[in-house]
Structure 1
Amino acid sequence: MKIYTFLQIQFLILCAFIKCSGPWTKRIVTKKGNSTTVTYIYDPPYKYKYKNLQSDSLREEVKDLGNVEFHATLDAMYNFKYPYKGKKETHNMIDKNFYTTGSLDRFQSKYRYHFKDKLSREKCINRIKKRLNFIVIEGVLTDDAYCEEVKKVLWIEQRTDEEMSVKVDKLESEEEKDRMCLNKIVIKDLISKLEKAKALKLSEGMIECIVSTIQDFLLDLVRIPKEEVPSKNAREQSEGKVHKPNKAPSENSTTHEKN
């Protein structure tokens, strides 16, 4: 009896939480015979339409990570939009991981994506936070037209990630792959073409922000997971030949003032 009462209380708490979710939660009632099933689905006030690059050379890992990361970025942005608390407070909330990890968890679950190690997840969170901070610097989240523009910016970055990853995967040596991951000229050329296709004119600051997050995204894809050290590497270390895995350059710190 005590267990039953406890479960009833937990159910009521869950219902209260769901009701507080407002427009973000959609209630679906399904009837079959004499039974009624009520389910709740996440129903955010935005749509992100993106079709992955159609290429046999594009790895599923790249698609999945991109889908999780960019959906989570947009989801977190709209959480900051409703209600909007101003630039300074929003920056503080971003830095303290408000909404970021929750949005990432949500889309990790949706796409059934598993990061290759803890560091990869941390890097993804840092990229999302860097994007969000610059999005807040560049415009006002209460401006619906600006938010629609941000969707195009995210589309451009995700497509550049995919096209660059195909270029990287065609190379053989680690050194060649690393150089391509960091190749600003090639990255900016792709951004420029996609920018024109989307009829956008990005600021220099936004382009630099996108380039840095693309570089980090690509370097993390080619990085050897910390938990999975190749046996050859272990032998080299035992013989005194240290083989260092690829490391992404430290991110430039994001300032909260627009130049």
Structure 2
Amino acid sequence: MVQGFDSFYNNPGLLAYYDDEISFFKLNVNLKGDALDVLNLYLGGDLSPDDPAALLTTLQDKGLTNLLVGLDINGPLSIGVIGNNWGWYLKNSTNVYLDLPGITSTADIVLREDLVFSAGIAVPFKMRFGDSFFLELVPGVMSRTTLRAELRIEEDLLGFMGYMSDFSSLLADFPLNISPMFALDAGFVINVYDIVSLSGVVKDIYTPILKYPVSSLSDALGIFTSGNDTTGNLVYREINFGLSSDIPLEYYPIL
């Protein structure tokens, strides 16, 4: 079973089973879709952002007329502590997505940065029946506070590359959304004699999300005190259950 910070958000009840761990730094990069093909062309000198016309020609010659590109970066901020049935975690993540249905079509581009602070605790209750059989119930709760900056652009490639030299006009046409989110998760683990475990978790029991549009970098410094239009919503709840077993060898018949 994956433990520690790699599965910190899975189920707060599992904090009772994780080994003690301290994190200071972590970096994980994941390329999706056609990202590796585009990266190889760029590293090989076949793609030049300074020449948009040549860039389109190269993509056509290489058969990349429709692109689906994803880039996920977890870290480098990854500070946290796990131990004694509780833990806290501060991390950042960066996500870039590009959906281009055609070389001259309008592309959907999403740039997102998340800063997340989480804290959780699990409380194990062990009940014994006889000398050896026991049942353990472990409820847990976790809070997550997220500050998200998201920029969504709908533009063709030539238009998007033109914005790269004038970032202020990009924000004027496609406002940056600053979104604070406050989430609460609850979960449990039922452990029967360390052989069978049933787990469940409800994510986003109550998770309001607000969106503050920002059309300039100066506006970003005063988003919570400005009179800009603000929209709000609730994140849908997610419910998951799991069943696992770990049967020791002495329980198997000797063949």
TM-score relative to the length of structure 2: 0.26
Higher strand share: 2
Q: Which structure shows the higher helix fraction? A: 1
Larger radius of gyration: 2
